[in-house]
Structure 1
Amino acid sequence: MNLNEHCYVPRLLIKAGEMKALLETNNFLSSEKRKTGHLFPLLVIPDIDWDYENGQPSDTPSSFISKKKDQIIKNWPRPAFIDAASVVTNPTDSNQPLSLIDTAFRQFGAKYGMIPVLHDLSTSSDAYSQVQSLIKAGSCHEVCLRLKNQEWLVLAEKSNFISWIQGLNLSENSCHIILDLESSVEESSYTSLGLVLFATLIRSYPSLDFTILGTSVPESPEIPSGMEKVDRREWNNWLTIIKREDGERPSLPIAFGDYGTVGLGQSVDIDPRIMNISGKFKYTTDDSWLLGKGGLFKGTKGRDSMGGKAIIPIIDAIVHDPQFRRNHCPTDDWMYEISAGTSTRYGNPTTWISEAMLHHMISTLEQIGSL
């Protein structure tokens, strides 16, 4: 499959909240028959958590990957990019992250059409060797190259790419490129990348497709109790690139990607027994994020906590904002009922991630479908 400007590539950690949102997004759009873009997720194997109670990793790599594979199949049994190229298996030591691509894909086989992700053009890395073996065994037939900020400049010398793709025994049209800006989503970054894309990359690699991935969700938002508005720069600036070129090509091979409502971070390596957890919610509008913080969901050292009710103040603030979309999707119904006092299904931090992501993915797919 070739991706284009009508495709959405959300980066999702393979965790309960985001996977549930992925399943429910697909189910809702299938039942509603709305006009939307095409969803092709980037599913990232997260780092293995640390078991503070027993002083060791919470799982072995093989068992961990098996459980993540089951999560994927349960919630998205269809093609996706699977990034297992750099997984921290022991968060407390100084070992480098391991590539668990082979461990993951040997379990998938070729049935689901999953596509492994590599992070560079190295032909001597363990990750590259693992993908070579998988392709030779027939476990996958495509590859994705995810290059972070400025690393895509290696594509300027095409001979390096040719050696890399030929070493995998694949053709150019079996490769997808993700240009990952991470949090560098200011207008200047997109302007510079747009120049590189249209002046060099699309011309040099006419068989490839490119996803621009980025996030404006703050890594560690210091939100006081209440709500603040943050521009969705990743969407607004990607849209500028697409509109600037509209009409010059029948279909631009440039998909939109973001980090959803979660942003860059994986789980913070802090003992959960000493964490204070607040009620937080991130709501997507056409061009901005509404970010809010409510009360204390879980406290330590005897601090008062509210449980699920901690989310009520921020949900109420968003529902009364002019940009709230009543009757848009299940998340909006859930929020409205909480604000109106007709529901006590307040949930927990996993619920809040799932509900926020459900609204976000449906909204983004509708935006892409309207282009």
Structure 2
Amino acid sequence: MILSNSYVPFLKWRQSEFQALFKLEDEIKDFIIPYIILPPIEYDFAERRLKKTIEEHIEPMAKRIYDKWGSRLALLDFHDSLEGKVMDNGESVVEYVHNEALALGCELVPVVSFEKSNWYLVEVKKITSAQKCGIALRVFLEDLDRQTINNEIDYLLEMFDLGISNIDLIIDLGTPDNFEPYALFSHIIFTKINSINNIKDYRSFVIVANSLDLMQIKQPGGVFTRHEWMLYPYLASKFKETPPTFGDYTTDNIEFLPQIDMRKINPSAKLIYTLPQHWHVLKAKAFRGNTAQMINLCSNIISLPDYKGIAFCDGDKRIYDTAKGIENCGNLGTWKQVAINHHMTKVVHQLSSYHASII
């Protein structure tokens, strides 16, 4: 069950993300319900074709979820390129993953939204009818302006033969143009969300947002405000009867960017470290051919007053070990994993302190 003191990180299910989740300490995992998005098939630019068939891409997914997250609760979504695909046995990709995961012992709740195709919704209904797991309804900020939103929710309830007590409501604010002033923005969001009937009767109520736009960050980086975290106490104080669960996009963009030929570009070295109210982002020169620059970036992080130390999480230990020459400089995926692992650990600690302070 998603509680008000839980944390819902949105994760694209690629190696950096699932390894960051896997390497969390158990006491941190106890407070996390990940929102998992199965990624599209990657394109092989050298061969000018997709790297895998749909069967090759999807077949390992259920076991990977179990191997990395076990029987803990997770929310499961699919990239839109996968939603209408069918496995060799004639089973839809959506039903296949849920059935295989259930057989392994996973506890997954399928995600729906108003943007999903009828095909997808029908496949999810098969899952909910058989597994009695309910659904998670992802509502975007622009959806809240629909005059017919309650009618659309009623349509889904009727389709799935569910009451709202079987639905996890996820309000995804995306990346707003401006969060500040927080008091005003929280009031606007509160008013919009209250257009949804019977908020307090949903199984859970999550608000997710993002303010880290990596595409806009230039060398050498800088310090950037975690606006979604700064906004959360304002929202929590407004929904007193049903305090929302906090969610975010961790330290990455949640959208899957257009695939590019990595032979033609050399991305910058980057290290993101989550501070109490900010992100410390270090961006250096091209990574490939100059991986040793990660030693300086890691040394910079461990010299910060807010560096948490090697016992804090796997990510912090890796930063220290690279700075001191104990570990190598890894690859770009290594440092994404490090950033996400530290971020999730940091957020769980912050939420624990926040909720303890308002009891």
Partner of 1:86: 80
Aligned-pair Cα RMSD in Å: 2.6
Alignment of 1:211 with 2:195, yes or no, is no
Q: Structure 1: 5+ residue runs without aligned partners?
A: 90-98, 299-304
TM, length-normalised to structure 1: 0.83
Query: What do the CA deviations read for 1:212-256 (whole angstroms, capped 9, x no partner)?
Result: 1111111413321x34000000111112211455xx43xx34111
Structure 1 pair 163/222, CA: closer, same or farther in 2 (3 Å)?
A: closer
Name the stretch that deviates more: 7-16 or 209-218: 209-218
Q: Does the 8 Å CA contact 1:105/1:139 hold for their aligned counterparts?
A: no
Alignment of 1:72 with 2:65, yes or no, is yes
Alignment of 1:277 with 2:267, yes or no, is yes
Alignment of 1:24 with 2:31, yes or no, is no
1:258 to 248, 273, 278: 248
Q: Does the 8 Å CA contact 2:112/2:121 hold for their aligned counterparts?
A: yes
Partner of 1:297: 287
- SS of 2:279's equivalent in the other structure is strand
Alignment of 1:221 with 2:204, yes or no, is no
Identity level (%): 21
- SS of 2:351's equivalent in the other structure is helix
Cα displacement (A) at 1:146: 1.0
Query: What do the CA deviations read for 1:34-84 (whole angstroms, capped 9, x no partner)?
Result: 7x9721010001121111121111112232122222221110122211001
AA in 2 matched with 1:192: I
Structure 1 pair 281/85, CA: closer, same or farther in 2 (3 Å)?
A: closer
Inter-partner Cα distance in structure 1 for 2:236 and 2:163:
27
Partner of 2:301: 318
- SS of 2:259's equivalent in the other structure is coil
AA in 1 matched with 2:304: D
AA in 2 matched with 1:337: D
Partner of 1:10: 9
Partner of 1:42: 35
1:134 to 127, 136, 153: 127
Cα displacement (A) at 1:344: 3.5
Inter-partner Cα distance in structure 2 for 1:233 and 1:204:
24
2:230 to 198, 214, 236: 236
Mapping 1:61-210, distance limit 5 Å: 61-77=54-70, 78-84=72-78, 86-87=80-81, 100-109=93-102, 111-120=105-114, 125-136=118-129, 138-139=130-131, 141-154=133-146, 157-184=149-176, 186-187=179-180, 189-197=185-193, 199-201=194-196, 203-204=198-199, 206-210=201-205
Cα displacement (A) at 1:183: 1.0
Cα displacement (A) at 1:105: 1.8
Cα displacement (A) at 1:118: 1.0
Partner of 1:338: 322
Query: What do the CA deviations read for 1:287-343 (whole angstroms, capped 9, x no partner)?
Result: 111111123221xxxxxx213x2322322222222322234333223323333x342
Q: Does the 8 Å CA contact 2:114/2:139 hold for their aligned counterparts?
A: yes
Query: What do the CA deviations read for 1:69-120 (whole angstroms, capped 9, x no partner)?
Result: 222111012221100161369xxxxxxxxx9423422322364221111121
- SS of 1:10's equivalent in the other structure is strand
Inter-partner Cα distance in structure 2 for 1:16 and 1:357:
12
- SS of 1:273's equivalent in the other structure is coil
Structure 1 pair 315/104, CA: closer, same or farther in 2 (3 Å)?
A: same
Q: Structure 2: 5+ residue runs without aligned partners?
A: 84-91
